[in-house]
Chain A
Amino acid sequence: MLQATAIKLPTADAVAVYAAAVIDHFDRPRNAGRLQPAPDVIEGSAGRRTDGVEFHFTARVAGDVIDAVRVRTFGCPHSVAAASWLSERLVGMTRAQLQQWQWREAAQALEVPTEKRGRLLVLEDAVRALARSWG
């Protein structure tokens, strides 16, 4: 069972509960950065900083699977954690799997509260954009 840590949000009375996995991925984000452009590197982005969240994935394709991923994230702790968590799972995925990946998987795994789920829709958009850039 995931342990939760209560942390006070910037805005006064509301208290956010970040699941332990969120804290782990926020404090130690996996696969942060970007791959150099190359013929075997695909990329996909979604979101805008002025809207509070932005994801940019770069991935290397080897054969018909992804074999390396990097991600850049601007956003709240749930956004940072979701992108990091997802980046590990993208390795080994096929194009079809990218096209089918659903935001609810991240919401469940990271116990993302309802009011934050909009960020995961943007994450899903970034994954679809990655799939589209894959030939």
Chain B
Amino acid sequence: MTAIYLDYAATTPIDPRVAERMIECLKPSGAHGNPSSAGHDFGRAARALVEKARAEVANLIGARPETIVWTSGATESNNLALFGAARFAADRGCHIVSAKTEHKAVLDVLKQLEREGFQVTYLKPDSGGIVSLEQVREALRADTVLVSLMHVNNEIGVIQDVGAVGRLCRERGVLLHVDAAQSAGKLPIDVEAMCIDLLSLTAHKIYGPKGVGALYVRRKPTPVGLRPLIYGGGQENGIRSGTLATHQIVGMGAAFAIAAKEREADVARIEALRERLWQGIAALGAVELNGHAQLRVANVLNVAFHGVEGESLQFACRELAMSAGSACSSASEEASYVLRALGRSDQVAQSSLRFSLGKYTTADDIDRAVDIVTREVRRLRALATGDGNQAANG
């Protein structure tokens, strides 16, 4: 039996329409030219495709195309945003505010910035995984230069009101960086209304290719200052050098264009399937939702299963492709740091599973997943308690 894919928050399959547009670029008659070669048709054709994709990405987040910088993914975008903005602003201040539940691609950058002399305040979210506006307000200091908060948490799917934080930061003259890897294409984003200065994006969470992402960098009224990470040919206005990978960028643009059109319908369908999955699992009893029950995206469901050990739970459910915690967590046996930040014990955190659905998930997938999880959790619980397995002494 083929495994059922329920790990869309880790990555998504490429939409065939995206793959088609990418393949066109890779054919002999495609767009092999260097987009920086303005002097001939080959380069200009590739450049035209790149700029079309730039507009497609900008459109999904309410930005103008010239604010989009191409990167290799959200990890690079986070690195560029945080290192770039902090180092640029270092003479004004050295304090940064973020949260304990950010992705490692933010936390590990902040750790490095601390080694370079910056001070970071890591806000602890409430038991639902949300950081309050008051917490941010209290953490801001005269020397705060940057706040970094993710829009949607990758492990538990909860939504942070980054717009409210943006307005506060704008009042206080502090930059706001938002990691939108898990929210673009799932929630509406308007960077100008939300007062966001830097926004990290990736293609592979919304049916685009891996290896390409973007960073929104506010330009008006004054451009956000960034020290580049990668130097070289001066592409992307010197912010990120390197020959642009036309086919990758076209793929990202195509994925974002499709998301703009289909987001609402996809989200409604996925939400209904997620609810079906939750109702099926909740019938087991002694299970708990990890993360705020209402302020969450449609596609992520993180559940703690009491009375079962985590590794056994995951192995028993190996017909389901999913995660315990994040796909990007360290290789240690430590339980999820996100779940521990919510106040979950190590044991409960380790006995949690993240199910993440996507546009190719079917009702049949969900029903089979419920059957598998229900069967295996009951079996493991009975193994531990002996209930239902009492032997008479005859």
Contacts and interface: CB of A to CB of B under 8 A. Distances in A.
Interface in B301-337: 307-312, 314-316, 318, 323-334
Interface in A12-44: 12-14, 16, 18, 26, 29, 32-36, 38, 40-41
Contacts of A77: 311-312, 315
Contacts of A49: 347, 384
Contacts of A33: 386, 388-391
Contacts of B334: 11
B383 A80 contact: yes
B382 interface: yes
A75 B308 CA distance: 8
B324 A11 contact: yes
A74 interface: yes
A128 interface: no
A29 B309 contact: no
Given A11-B325, A12-B328, A35-B391, A72 B350 contact: no
Interface residues of B, number: 36
Nearest to A34: B386
Interface in B29-46: none
Contact of B350 (A10, A13, A16, A32): A10
Nearest to B387: A33
Nearest to B354: A10
B167 to A, nearest CB: 36
Contacts, number: 98
A50 B327 CA distance: 25
Contact of A36 (B312, B327, B390): B390
Contacts of B307: 74
A52 B363 CA distance: 34
Interface string A71-107: 0111111011000000000000000000000000000
Given A10-B323, A72-B383, A80-B312, A36 B389 contact: no
A76 B393 contact: no
A41 B386 CA distance: 16
Contact of B386 (A9, A13, A70): A70
B333 A32 contact: no
Task: Summarize A's interface: helix, strand, loop or mixed.
Answer: mixed
Contacts of B237: none
B222 interface: no
Given A34-B391, A68-B391, A74-B309, A7 B318 contact: yes
A53 to B, nearest CB: 8
A56 B390 CA distance: 13
Contacts of A125: none
A19 to B, nearest CB: 13
A40 B310 CA distance: 35
B385 interface: yes
B301 to A, nearest CB: 16
Given A9-B311, A10-B311, A80-B383, A35 B393 contact: yes
Contact of B330 (A11, A34, A50): A11
Contacts of A9: 311, 314
Contacts of B308: 74
A54 interface: yes
Contacts of B383: 29, 32, 72-74, 80
B309 A12 contact: no
B314 to A, nearest CB: 5
Contacts of A7: 315, 318
Given A33-B390, A33-B391, 8 more contacts: A10-B310, A11-B332, A12-B330, A32-B386, A32-B389, A34-B391, A74-B307, A74-B383
Interface of B: 307-312, 314-316, 318, 323-334, 345, 347, 350, 382-386, 388-393
30 contacts: A10-B311, A10-B314, A10-B323, A10-B324, A10-B325, A11-B324, A11-B325, A11-B329, A12-B326, A12-B327, A12-B328, A12-B330, A14-B331, A14-B333, A16-B311, A32-B383, A33-B390, A33-B391, A34-B386, A36-B391, A49-B347, A50-B347, A54-B384, A56-B386, A68-B391, A70-B386, A74-B309, A77-B311, A77-B312, A80-B383
The 3 closest A-B pairs by CB, nearest first: A33-B389, A10-B324, A34-B386
